[in-house]
A and B are shown apart, each in its own frame.
Chain A
Amino acid sequence: MSAKASKLVAGAKEWASYYGDFTQGEEAAAFTVPLRARAMWDAGDAEGFADVFVENGSFLVGDQQLTSQSEIRDYMKAAFAGGLAGTTFAQEPVEVKLLTPDVALVITNGGIVAAGATELAPGASTRDVWITAKQDGVWQLVSLQTSPVKG
């Protein structure tokens, strides 16, 4: 196997492990929403991050309730160019619950890992709730809210 191919396989294996217990069916499909958001965050891609949301998606950041894809894109663009530059998004699945065949609640443990760091700083742990819904066959993010926890 070429070095490039083995790197791709290693990457795929690593990402596959991020599903935790939620590897099957619609639950796994819904869980791709936080995984996609995390991948876009880690890439510093504000456009891609906003695209994970539905058009009128909602995201509480600090004191601000962002209530559209464009607000989220603008906010994250500035953040990735500023205070969030180089940060990554920690994420471990806690729970995936289907409310209907096409609406799911996903709960993760997470937090923002400082640029250059490999793990969460003390006090940076959050409990993250992702409200996801399937639109035109694709699971999208309706709402993301994070709550500080002691971890």
Chain B
Amino acid sequence: MSVTIKASELLADAGIVEDVSYYRSFDSEDEKAVLTVPMKITAGWARNDADFFASIFVENGSLLMQDTQLTSREQIREYMAAGFRGGLKGAQVSGGPLEIKFLRDNVAMVITEGGIILAGESEIAPERQIRATWIIVDEGDGVWKLFSHQSSPAPYKG
């Protein structure tokens, strides 16, 4: 028997205030629960918190950062910790969903647009605008987690 937890609760548990504008047109309870994952990732960037960022992934989660394919929560944590100490210090991300598809009850694919706003920048520079594919899963406890994130350069339409 699977557990269902509302998006607002999932966000509150992570100390995040729900920004309903993030959902755009994807506002069913199921879609909102899935979208808590990109919202948490956004919060992880805003906090520059690598531990929290990595905790959003499943144990063997996959993240493509530039040329580096990170394939575990631990690799992701180390990569982001170094990033937040270095070139990504003070960086944030912004964006929103374009498409959500439930592949199974507990597996969703989300496509978002967005990008990285480096410290001192006020918007996403054209060369940092991306399209991302997210695979988001519920392992049975109602807390949706990130299985895979991949981004490709593509213009942000907003």
Closest chain A residue to B154, Cβ basis:
A63
On chain A, which size bracket covers the interface? 20 to 34
Known: A99-B137, A148-B153. A65 touches B62 (CB 8 A): no
Whether A107 lies near B153 (C-beta < 8 A) is no
B104 neighbours in A (Cβ, 8 Å): 100, 102-103, 133
Indicate if B155 sits at the interface (CB-CB under 8 A): yes
Determine the main DSSP class of A at the interface with B. strand
Query: Please, how many angstroms separate the alpha-carbon atoms of A58 and B155 in the complex?
Result: 17
With beta carbons under 8 angstroms apart, the residue of A60, A94, A131 that contacts B135 is A131
Contact A143 B64 (CB under 8 A): no
Does any Cβ of A come within 8 Å of B8's Cβ?
A: no
Q: Evaluate contact between A129 and B137: CB separation under 8 angstroms.
A: no
Interface residues on B, range: 20 to 34
Say yes or no: A58 contacts B101, CB within 8 Å.
yes
What chain A residues lie within 8 Å of B88 (beta carbons)?
Answer: none
B103 interface neighbour in A127, A129, A131, A149, Cβ under 8 Å: A131
Bound complex: CA A65 to CA B153 (Å): 12
A105 x B64 contact (CB < 8 A)? no
A-B contact sample (19 more), CB < 8 A, given A65-B131, A147-B152:
A58-B99, A60-B133, A60-B154, A67-B99, A95-B69, A97-B60, A102-B104, A127-B67, A129-B133, A131-B103, A131-B133, A133-B103, A142-B101, A143-B111, A145-B131, A145-B133, A147-B153, A150-B67, A151-B67
Chain A interface (Cβ within 8 Å of chain B)? 56, 58, 60, 62-63, 65, 67, 94-95, 97, 99-100, 102-103, 105, 107, 127, 129, 131, 133, 142-143, 145-151
A-B contact pairs, 10 of them (CB 8 A): A65-B99, A65-B111, A99-B107, A100-B107, A129-B133, A129-B148, A131-B103, A143-B111, A148-B152, A149-B67
